[in-house]
Structure 1
Amino acid sequence: MTETETLLQTALDWHRAGRGVAVASVVETWGSAPRPAGSLLVIADDGGMAGSVSGGCVEGAVVVEALEALEDGGARMLDYGVSDDEAFAVGLACGGRIRVRVEPVGSVLPVGALEEMADRAARREPFVRSVALAGGGAEILGMGEGADAVLRRGKSGLSEDGARFDLVHAPPLRLGIIGAVHIAQALVPMARLAGYAPAVVDPRPAFASEERFPETELLDDWPDAALEAYGIDGRTAVVTLTHDPKLDDPGLQAALRSDAFYIGALGSTRTHAKRVARLQAAGFTNAQIGRIHAPVGLDIGAATPGEIAVAVLAEMTQALRRG
């Protein structure tokens, strides 16, 4: 479970147990803060709390405000200037500013909205809760519901005009790699550093081994079946690296039928032309086939497995952030 999912469920469980509950959200903060915008702190009317909004320097003050909000049923917008000493105590080089919105469950944050967010999070469904700071009105939106640009950005925070606070829940990015080859060995650790949970698909046990890919999810089925079980969503990238149509083509076909935000295939322009012909013969349209990035990766002159992995990860990032 993600931290956001855990805290939303905690707030819901506490409410269902009869406790008064408020949810505090970081709306705005300084650039190097230990807790980014969107961080949550759940406070119960008996003083219990879960989560964090600042790493410790303003939690006590937020809890006091939350308990008062639970008494009067109103929202709070809190603004703190964090001193250099306080900031240093939680690992920062200098102080800054943090804004926190506190919403009692029931009176401000509807129970139905909390249930919907917890449910969407449990289903790995990305969503945005967009709150109008002036009036307090809010809506919950997912992909295809008007929040695509915010979800692609993947970060909570104020809208450009400062009128709304967008609480973004974006499940961890995933990367399905077809082919347990040398490039995959370089790409897996790089992808982890970029925030992906990679999985390597290869039915050949000599390639997809724990020794070659330690602490990595290994799917030893044929790519189409493996990816179907894996479940490709709009925060999943798929890359084929084997050069072998028997493995790459089933993986590409599964990816093209999905909502994957990025599909890449290793191979030269000539190799890809043959691949296009096979996919056309399989019934895929030119528009569908056009989703494939091939030759895979940004054109930076990459030659070694490590360099090719850099180019692939860079192109995936471009597709994710710039669409």
Structure 2
Amino acid sequence: MNAVDYQVLKSAVGWLRQGKRLVLATVVRNWGSAPRPLGSLFALTADGDFTGSVSGGCIEDDLMQRFATAFPQQIELVRYGISAEQMRRFGLPCGGTLELVIEPLSDAAALTPLLEAVAERRLVQRRLNLRTGAALIEPTEADFALRFNDEELVQVFGPRWRLLIIGAGQVSEYLAQMAPALDFSVYLNDPREEQRRNWQAGQVTWLDGMPDDAVLAFAPDRRTVIVTLSHDPKVDDMALMEALKTDAFYVGAIGSMASTVARKERLLMLDLSPEQVDRLHAPIGLSILSRSPAEIAVSILAELVLLRNRGSAGVAASSCVIGDTDVRMVERP
């Protein structure tokens, strides 16, 4: 869950505690070049307070105008972008269409447990019954972001990706600070006591032991990213030796082109196959001519987001099913 949607929940709970009514709009289906991904949130109070985004701004404006005079009393399903005229009016890209679940709320208790779980970086799902409006929040290990059918909306909140950083240097500090905003929970291993003692970036989950043991205990899966940033081959190679044998989505190592060639030669001597070594992303990150630790962290995250989005490009349609529903459908004129 990204930082923007967390802020939507935080603001919504605050407004509800003040006694305000609000609607929570969720993107549940999109076609074509829709401006926001599935699960994007927008909260709007009856007084006109708002936060979040479901489009480039025009749809939010329409929702504000609409609910200024008639606040909904039940869950609605609203579709935008059906015709070329609607696309022009609402500023949707060519071929873009999206559907929103509009959920009226008046009690902070409806969202408070969800906000607390996200703040504690727990992975949970919220099951919203579209007929009754009842919501259930429960732990999950789901690898989808959202599912939607004629009975319920199921949305996953909290960090759905794990990032294991090997080496506690400056690049690691910036990476650990930025990654949670991009749906990563952050873990760190460094066997060098002086590096751990001088860590400056605040809250991460430390993994004890030598890097190879830490990787094995971490049990990487296809939503795991492992990056080695220590600049010490004795540390980095131990982690890579095990990481490249796993199902980790991404395994990367910092260093120059020359050091990468040398590293791969060493890894081939450590009981790794050429195919396993070829999985290594090195030098790590997108080439943005980065020099400073913060820029290197940005380049790493940019590559992770690119590969993650490229890999999930076909997931949205398969993870969201629309059926006949009793929820009131409103097609905006």
TM-score by length of 1: 0.57
Letter in 1 for 2:156: V
- State which of 267, 280, 287 in structure 1 corresponds to 2:241: 267
Match of 2:211 in 1: 248
Mean Cα displacement is larger for which, 51-60 or 79-88? 79-88
* Identity percentage of aligned residues: 27
Which one of the candidate residues 119, 127, 143 is aligned to 1:152? Answer: 143
Residue aligning to 1:302: 278
- 2:163 alignment partner, one of 150, 155, 175: 175
Q: What's the secondary structure of 2:143's corresponding residue?
A: helix
Match of 1:115 in 2: 112
Rate the CA distance shift 1:75–1:69 in 2: closer, same or farther, 3 A. Answer: farther
1:6 CA displacement: 1.0
1:105 matched to which residue of 2?
A: 105
State the partner residue of 1:165: 153
Give 1:138's aligned amino acid. A
Letter matched to residue 9 of structure 1 = K
For 1:140 and 1:252, locate their aligned partners in 2 and report how far apart those are by CA, in whole Å: 31
Is the CA contact (8 Å cut-off) linking 1:4 and 1:169 kept in structure 2?
Answer: no
**Residue 63 of structure 1: SS of its match in structure 2?**
helix
1:162-216 residue CA offsets vs partner (Å, 9 max, x unmatched): 53222221326342232589xx99xx8xx97x965767644669xxxxxxxxxxx
Change (3 A) 1:34 1:303: closer
Q: Which has the higher contact order (CA 8 A, sep 6+)?
A: 2
Counterpart residue type for residue 177 of structure 1: I
What is the total number of aligned residue pairs between the two structures? 249
Q: Which residue does the alignment assign to 2:42?
A: 41
SS at 2:94's partner residue?
coil
| Mapped pair 1:132 → 2:129 | yes
What SS class does the counterpart of residue 152 from structure 1 fall into? Answer: coil
CA distance in 2, matches of 1:14, 1:136: 19
Give the 3 Å change call, closer, same or farther, for CA 201–79 of structure 1 in structure 2. same
Q: CA RMSD in A?
A: 5.2
Q: Which residue of 1 aligns with 2:195?
A: 220
Over 3 Å counting, the alpha-carbon distance change for 1:116 and 1:65 in structure 2 is farther
Which structure 2 residue ranges, 5 or more long, are not aligned?
227-238, 246-269, 286-303, 313-333
Shift of 1:94: 1.0
Displacement of 1:247 after TM fit?
3.0
**CA shift at 1:78, angstroms?**
1.3
Q: Which residue of 1 aligns with 2:324?
A: none
| 2:322 aligned partner | none
Name the SS of the counterpart of 1:220 in structure 2: helix
